[in-house]
Each structure stands twice: as C-alpha cells, then as structure tokens.
Structure 1
Amino acid sequence: MKHRLMLVCFLVVLLVSSFAPVAAQATELRYGVGNNVDTLDPNVTTFSSVGVIMQHVFDPLVWQDPLGSFHPGLATEWSVNEDATEYSFTLRDDVTFHDGTPFNADAVKFTFDRIADPETGAQSAFSLIGPYAETEVVDDTHIIVRFNTPFAPFLDSASTPNLSISSPTAIETLGADYGLTTAVGTGPFMVESYIPDSEVVLVRNPDYNWGSEEVFGMSGSANLERLTFSLILEPATRLAALESGEVDYIDEVPELDIARLMEESSLTITQIEQPGHGWSLMMNQENAPTDELAVRQAIAMSIDKQGMIDVVFNGFGTPGCSGLTKVMFGYDPASCDYLPYDPAGAAAILDEAGWVMNDATGIRERDGVPLVFGHYFRADNPLGSAMATFMQANLADVGIGVELNGLAQAGYFDAVRAGEHNSQNWWDTFTDPDGVVRTLFHSSNADGGTNRSRYRSEEMDALIDQAAATGDADARIELYAQIQQMAADEAIMAYFVDPFLLYGSTSSLTGVKYLGGGNLPNFYAASFS
C-alpha cells in the first residue's frame, strides 16, 4: 500500500536590502528562541522549541522534505502491508550514537517501547505513535513495527523529532535525569551544555556522514561548528538582539514590527502559513461551567476572530474555523459556518439555557450561580496574555465572566495536566491531520495528556482511528470532514486564529531548511555567506 502525505504550505520570503548584522563567527549560529524548554528529551516534551533544537541532535527513521515527500534517514528502505498495521524497515549499519553506542534495531525498539509506556509520561510522542503494539527485531538492521489497528500516518509520525531514536545506554545510565542535562542521539550536532531558562549549546558531530542528500543536498558533517539557542522569551528583547547582531536568527517575530523591519532593517523575514492546529481554546468538559454544551457554544460564538487578528496579531493570520488550519490536508471549508462569530446568537443560546443577565454585575446567573470560568495561561507568554485579555473583553459583552490565571511555566503545565482549568490556549504544528485530531480529541489523551478538553467519545475515537487506517485520500477527507463537524456540534473547542510562522535572520545566513511544515527551521546545511 502506498501512502503519501498531502500538504500545502505557502512560504513567502521577504528580503530587505542594506548591510546585514555580522555574525560574531562565521561558524557559529546564534538563535534567539521565543519559547522555553522543559526537557531535552524529544520523546517526552510537548514544546515545539525542543523539537526545533533537538532535531539537530537526533535523526528520524525517515526524513520528510518541505513538499511532504519521504526520504531515507536512519532507515534506508521501508514497506507497508496492505492494511497499514505493519511497517518493515531496513536500517543503516554505519551509524553510532554520540556516546559510542551502536545504532541498531534494538535502539529503535527501545525508543518506541519507551514512548508507548505510560510510565514514561510521553505527551506529543504518545499521540504520534498511535495504536502502537510492538516492534519486532528481526536482526540488527531489520525491524517490523506493528499497530493494533491500521495506522496510515506512521511514516509522517516517524519523520518528527518526537519519535527520534535515542541512545538506550544514555537513558539507562541517566534514568530520570535524562533530558535534564543532556540527550544523546545520532544527529549532526551534540549537546555541549544546557542551562535551564537560559541556553542550549550544540557542537558539530565530526563523525556525522549519514545526512540526507535528498533533503539537505549534503550528507557529511555540518557546515557550522556551533549552534547556540538562547531562550529569549520577551519579544522586544528577542528582536533587539537580532537587530543589534547579538543573535543571527529568531522565531516569533513580533507582528507589529514586520512593516518596520521590511523598510528599515537589513534582515530576511520568512513567513509561512502554519499547518497543523491554530490558536484556539480548549474547554475542560469535567469542570463547570464549561461542562455545559450551551456555555461552550456561546463562548465559541462570542470571539471576534478578525478583531483578534487585527489587534493581537497585527493582521497576520486568518480566522480559525477548525482543528485543522486551512493549509492542512483534510481541512473542511464548511467548518467556517459551524460556530461563526455571532454575539447575539450566543446570548440567545444562554437565554434558552437559563443563564439570565444580572444587570448590576453584568454577569449572567442561573440559580444564583454566576457564569464565570477560569482561564489558565502562561504568564511568560505575551501572546497568550494578549489573547486572554481580548477574549475576556469579548465574553464580557455577552455576560460571561473570565478569571485570568497567569502562571509560571512549571505551575501552568502542572495545573492543566491535572485538569484544574476551565480553559487554556493551544496551538501546534503537524504535517498530517491525524496528529491534530488524535492530540485534540482522542480519549486516549484525555487523562493528563494533550486532550485538555478532557473530551471522551467512543464515536469520535472510532472516526479518528478509521481515518488513520484509511489509505485512500478521498475517504480520509470525508472522515476528517465528519470529525470537524462532530467537534463543532459538541463545541469541544473555540477556534481563534490560523497564524503565520514568522522568522527573522541576518541576510548573510543561507541554507536553512524549513521542515515540519515550517515549524522546524533546520541548520544542518546552513552557512554564512
């Protein structure tokens, strides 16, 4: 059976002339990262920033190029049985982990078994590995990966940093400390140092000679000697570092500064329509009042999406309509009609549900209980704070109160994984729709996992599993349309904005490859002109 990812990704590069900031060294790239790091272990993290960094330390079984085609990575060949329950891989026999451990079939089995073990606490990787059953080691260079039910998206999953193959020796040696100080892969760079909340420094792996010619145009050791990832969470500080030449590259360029940068700065601005899942609101169905369908519908219909784009995103984005962004395979245009911006309609739904406006407080009540819910967000994320404030004002217009709870990173994740929230914001980048819908809606992720709406439905699970089991593109499109319809009918989430990924770099930097639908700028082949 043949399965090919269908992906549409629009990339616009805006070049601005004049003299670019000069890198401190032609062999070191300094990246100002706009998000924090929770661990260096790609098999456990939910942070996209960890994937950006650790894709340079690890190799996947297969590479996926920016157009969605698959190419050999640690696996040289693969085949899939007729119902996509078995994937057979032939592995390279000339690869060594950074700690000297040979890469072989046992290492792949160790990694996949560890991801599937609930005790590991894998989050994104647990979703991406789907209905995993086992990995059979045939010999050192041959494995068979089996699934309990058909799983057509596995090649896509296997191309992500989350399913990268880790050194069993390093994990067994470090135990629970693995990822806290280092992580060990087979990639073109090795971890030199990690200072939490500050920086991650990678150095070139001089022995690397198994890169993908098809994806990167080279296979030997990296052009750059060092990659320094500085964690600069405040947008203005991050941008100032780029403009002053303190760093060579940043992500999450502030939307308000794009026009000025185009006119005044000698930088390259790269803009990509994000595939995957846009900014939206997960609403916890285990806590009142978001356990009530009418309340969730009213929340979803009270958000002025275009207004949020104009005010918070400075016009960079399109209104969110679905769990899938508009450039994703499987996106259903009809989803924009399901829960449109309609404050009057939202008010009517609440009236019918018995939520009556208290004119003295401006907040609706029912049986003496005010219609107020708690929204959790990361206090160190200015965008999350801005979205929360905008949402709070929108919902006040229809008589819904929002208590804003801005928490530090560690406390935030502890709280939402424990289900203390009524709502939280979410976005992520995927290149196959299964990653989106399984992460957001599948009950296997509802108890402390990525499904923080804590939504559970056997019917939804069956649709998601059926779509993942289907190799026919038209049949998958129809199933994903049903999933989007059902998600809207049950108002599982409120969709805000399909954003653009915005990167800024010194104009002397060349050779960056945008993998993972644009969310993974890769510097293996990069250099300074």
Structure 2
Amino acid sequence: MKRTKATVCVLLVLTFLMSAFGTFSTLAQEDTEFSFGISNNVDTLDPNVTTYSSVGVIMTQVFDPLVLQNPLGTFYPGLATSWEINDDSTEYVFTLKEGVTFHDGTPFNAEAVKFTFDRIADPDTASQLAISLLGPYESSTVVDEYTLQVNFSSPYAPFLNSLSTPYLAPTSPTAVEELGDEYGLSMVVGTGPFKLESYTPDSEVVLTRNEDYTWGAEDVYGMTGPANFSTVRFVIIQEPATRLAALESGEVDFIDDVPELDVARLTEDPNITIEQIEQPGHGYSLMMNFEQAPTDELAVRQAIAMAIDKQSLIDVVFNGFGTPGCSALTKVMFGYDAATCDYLPYDPDQSMAILEEAGWVDTDGDGIRERDGEPLAIQHWYRADSPLNNSLATFLQADLAAVGIDMQLNGASQSGYFDAVRAGEHNTQGWWDTWTDPDGLRVLFHSSNADGGTNRNRYRSEEMDALLDEAAGISDPAARAEVYAEIQKLAADDAVMVYLNDPYLLYGYASNLEGITFLAGGNLPAFYAASFAAE
C-alpha cells in the first residue's frame, strides 16, 4: 500500500490542464494504491451471475451501469445519456453514450447491452441477483448502434433502479464468448474506471486504473477522466478482529463491517473515520424452507418466529447496533409498513402454545418436543467461515431450545453451504442483502426464484406472485406502497421468514481518505473519485 503525494510541479500541471480542458481527474496520481479489507468472500467475479453483495461492491469499480442513482430515487445518466418510458412501463428506450470501449477494446453499443440482458435471462447462465432485477424481461431491440429498446411482458416500474446496480451493468460480449465458462472465474471485462488485474481465490482481488477512461459521470462524481488511484486492492479478511487490526496498522485503508464493540473507541481515534449508515434492503433474517419437514408446517414456522428474542440477539451478537426487524424491508426503505412490527412478535409463551395445539409435545421430558414419535428438529445451514453466522447460529439454537425446538447446526464451507441450500436440504438458513427498491421482495418471495434461486424459502404462492407483479407495474408511489403493505402482511400470515435485525452499515477508513461516493443508499462505496488528502 502506497500513499503518495503529488509534487508541486504535478499539481501545477494538473491545475493548468483542468482550467484548459475541464474536469478530468482531481488528483490522478501515479503508483497510488488503495486497499479495502472486505469482510466477505466472492462466489464469482461476474456481477451478472453472483449472489454476493461483496461482488457488487468490487465490481462497482469495474463496471459502469446504464444509469446512476444518488441519492435513492434520483437518477443520472451513466452509460445511457437519456431514456424514454412508455405509459405503462413496458418499453424503455435508451440512448447510449458514444466513444466508450470495454477494457478489452470491444466497442460499447446497443448490441453489447442486448447481449448482457439476454445472457442474464438465459436459464443456462444461472443468474442469481441479476435475474430478479431484470424483472419480467421479454426482449431487447437494437434500434441503431446507440439506441436500445427494452421490452417487458408486463409493467415494470423499478427498472431504472435495477439498472443503477452493477448486477445489470453491460459486460463485454467478446470476453464472454472467448472465455466461456472461465468468465467470472479468471476474468471479467467492463467499461469502468478500474479493470481486473488479478484474482487470488480466498485472498484478494486487484484492480488497476483504466487509463483510457474519459466517460465518468461528472454529475455524480465531479470528474470524468481516469481515476485518482492507480491500484485498488480488495483483501478478503473475514475475521473481524484481523480486519480491524489491518485498518489500525495501516495495512488497509478501508474496511466494511466494523466490529460493533469497537465503534465507540474508533470514533475517538483521529486517524480513523467511522461512517454509520442505516442499511437499505433486507436485514439479517431467517429463511424457512416450505418443502422440508417440519418447516413445511405453518405452526412450526410461526412458533420459530415468535421464539426469537430479537432485541437480545442485537444486544449480544451485534453489540446493540440495529433495531429489531419487522419486515423483509428495512425501516429506511420506501414501502416499509410499520404495522409489520405487530405481526408475529416475540412471545415464547405463545410460541409454545402454538406448538402444543399442533400436537408437538415434550412427552419424555428431554426438553425437545415430539409428535408421532418424531422429535421437533430442524436443520440450520450456515457459512462456518463467517464469525457472524457462527454467533447467530448459536444464539438462535438457544432461543429455539427454550421452546422445545432442536435446531441442529450444519456449518459448512462456502461451496458446501451453497450446494446444500440451493438443493433445498435446509430447514433454515440466514439471509442478508442490500437493495434499493421494494421490488427486491421478489428475490425472497416470488415463485420464479424458488427452484435453487434466491427464494430459498421455496415459497410458492400465486397470490404473492400476483401482488409482486402488480406492485412492479405501479408508477404512483402511494398506490405502490399500499400493495407492498399487502405483500408484507401476506408474508407474515404465511410466516415465510423471521426478520432479526435491521442493521447499520459500518465502514471505517483512514482519516486522510476523501472523495468516497456511497451509492445505493450506502451499500456500494465507489472509489473512482477517491484520493488521499495532501498532508
């Protein structure tokens, strides 16, 4: 990690160039490395395929979206310079920026965007987050080289929001076709201010500056030319204490998921800045599998939901940071319904009464309920390589034991975990995700995502599907919010998930770091315009 300062001569030259030619880069330094100690691993580097929000953070630096959103609800041109939407939001026509190239030299144009959307929609791609963001996608029509019409089979009002994420960002058709199955494993190619230099699995992702970058979004970043940092290094550090030590020692410049126990102390440290943001999206939650006994039973799911002391969980596991979850939408999200806090409240006595009524009784006095000779046992799968998931699992196990449910813990490696939950072997699994529009509920509840996709509740409801599709087609905010209130009520009636904690995003970084842009309500820190302040 090198934090260099431009010489007076360089600053004078830059000042002259900026006054003569406009804003390119405020401090495009040579050999200036920035490093991010990131808390989660990656499954693939391909943003069009991943299920990891950590990949979204990394690829925000590598891929440009068609539109940018900052703050939430305010959209700016990205790779699209303008757009038109028909009255029922089934057709979007985009005029694209000219003179843009992918990192491999492939021209950016309407064909490249069509290729990206068609690839995401192709079941063989096995897209996770992006396929949900693409909504009821039908087709794309290339009007001319820099004009694209995107068609939907039903109204889809959230599409601009979807486009503002890295998950729908255009990818190089040439790279995908040449690399085949290796795309995303060894290389990805976007149009962004940084390009992939190397990836060492379970260790780091290294990006280098795209020296040809001249199409930055000045309205959002305040600059248009090459990035300030020459190298951005994402170091995968999953253990919280190790990650924090790397920041405090200067080994890295920025970390996410600052340990809550250390926030007060770090706030007093003049060398470190703490950024605390209420997280939009889906908070820490528990998915319950509708196709695996005994969580296929409504009474069991209701009892699980009412047995968990959320405030104590927040106090113990998160050191008091966050608020008890009530809905699949965190409280800062548009569409969140405060009435959800009255649904399935913490009530262990009622939890036990529900189980008794359903015939689950502890007949042998061992503390575990049985019915027809079968113990009330559930299989909880979690990532054993995550300290947070380990802590959550042991807390949940204790709370459920108190009402007579035996939660059996299955900690697994990253690949083993995903193999199990995508195959539906679990009764319960954790969920956490960042999102910026309530249409993200289709990720959790829509039946189209129930077969190995993101709806690992394996929840299928024609009524829910219809409500989600209806809400996505409404442009009037008040009317749309009413439908999302119905969706949240139905999810509670069916006891689809348990919402544990609406958390804070906690970032820590060197106090001389400036120019970070927190996109997606804080979920996606962008380092294109970032630099180290001159001392």
Are 1:313 and 2:322 an aligned pair?
no
Runs (5+) with no aligned partner, structure 2: 6-31
CA distance in 2, matches of 1:475, 1:357: 48
**Alignment-mate amino acid for residue 505 of structure 1:** Y
CA distances 1:18-47 after superposition (whole Å, capped 9, x unpaired):
xxxx95446211100100011111000011
Aligned to 1:46: 51
Query: 1:199 maps to which residue?
Result: 204
Counterpart-to-counterpart distance in 2, 1:338 and 1:284: 20
In 2, distance between residues paired with 1:427 and 1:204? 31
Percent of matched pairs sharing the same residue: 69
* Counterpart position of 1:388: 393
The one of 77, 80, 86 equivalent to 1:81 is: 86
Correspondence for 1:484: 488
Does structure 1 residue 441 correspond to structure 2 residue 445?
yes
Matched residue, 1:3: none
Amino acid at match of 1:527: S
What is aligned with 2:478?
A: 474
> 2: CA distance between counterparts of 1:222 and 1:81?
36
State the alpha-carbon separation in 1 of the partners of residues 515 and 350 from structure 2: 50
State the Cα deviation string for residues 435-473 of structure 1 (Å, max 9, x = none). 2x1100000000000000000011100000000000011
* Aligned: 1:301 with 2:306: yes
Equivalent residue for 2:339, pick from 330, 334, 341: 334
Q: Is the 8 A contact 1:515 1:521 kept in 2?
A: yes
Tell me the equivalent position of 1:465.
469
Q: CA deviation at 1:373?
A: 0.3
Distance in 1, Cα, partners of 2:320 & 2:119 = 43
Q: Are 1:226 and 2:197 counterparts? A: no
C-alpha contact (below 8 Å) 2:70/2:519 kept by paired residues: yes
SS for the counterpart of 1:357 is coil
> How large is the RMSD of aligned CA atoms in angstroms?
1.0
Work out the CA distance in 2 between the residues paired with 1:126 and 1:23: 39
Q: What SS does the aligned partner of 1:290 have?
A: coil
Match of 2:170 among 160, 165, 168: 165
Q: Distance in 2 between matches of 1:117 and 1:38?
A: 19
Specify the code of the residue in structure 1 equivalent to 2:447: S
How many corresponding residue pairs?
507
Deviations 1:389-419 (A, max 9, x none): 1111001110001000000001101110111
- In the alignment, structure 1 segments of 5+ residues that lack a partner are 1-21
Deviation at residue 261 of structure 1 after TM alignment: 1.4
CA contact (8 A) 1:60 1:160 kept: yes
Q: Is the 8 A contact 1:299 1:395 kept in 2?
A: yes
Offset of residue 299 of structure 1: 0.1
CA contact (8 A) 2:270 2:511 kept: no
Q: Which residue, out of 402, 407, 412, partners 1:397?
A: 402
Look up the match of 1:507.
Answer: 511
* Matches of 2:205 and 2:100, distance apart in 1: 24
Aligned mates of 2:121, 2:369 — CA distance in 1:
45
1:376 aligns with 2:381: yes
Corresponding residue for residue 28 of structure 1: 33
What TM-score does the superposition give when structure 1 sets the normalisation length?
Answer: 0.95
Counterpart CA distance in 1 for 2:237 and 2:472 is 38
Structure 2 counterparts to residues 172-183 of structure 1, below 5 A: 172-183=177-188
Q: Output the CA distance in 1 between the equivalents of 2:334 and 2:71.
A: 14
Residues in 2 aligned to 1:53 and 1:297: alpha-carbon distance in whole angstroms: 38
1:90-144: CA deviations, max 9, x gaps?
A: 0111100000000000000000000001110000000000000000001100010
1:451 aligns with 2:447: no
User: 3-state SS of the aligned residue for 1:345?
Assistant: helix
1:357 to 357, 362, 372: 362
- Report if aligned partners of 1:78, 1:90 keep a CA contact under 8 Å in 2: yes
Q: Deviation at 1:68?
A: 2.9
Give the Å deviation of 1:359.
4.9
Q: Provide the residue aligned with 2:501 in structure 1.
A: 497
Give the SS at the match of 1:186: coil
Q: Is the 8 A contact 1:23 1:247 kept in 2?
A: no
Contact 1:184 1:191 in 2 (8 A): yes
- Do residues 60 (structure 1) and 65 (structure 2) align? yes
Q: Could you tell me which residue of structure 2 aligns to residue 187 of structure 1?
A: 192
Q: Find the residue that maps to 2:400 and give its secondary structure.
A: helix
Partners of 2:501 and 2:459 in 1: how far apart? 22
Please tell me whether the aligned partners of residues 429 and 517 of structure 1 are also in contact (alpha carbons under 8 angstroms): no
Shift of 1:228: 0.4
Which deviations, in whole Å up to 9, do the C-alpha atoms of 1:463-505 show, x marking residues without a partner? 0000000001111110000000000000000110001010000
TM-score (normalizing by structure 2): 0.94
Offset from partner CA, 1:208-230 (integer Å, 9 cap, x none) = 01111111111111111110000
Determine whether 1:276 maps to 2:294.
Answer: no
Specify the code of the residue in structure 1 equivalent to 2:458: R
Question: Partners in 2 of 1:190 and 1:218 — Cα distance?
Answer: 18
In 1, Cα distance between equivalents of 2:509 and 2:2 = 11
Please state whether the residue corresponding to 1:300 is helix, strand or coil.
Answer: helix
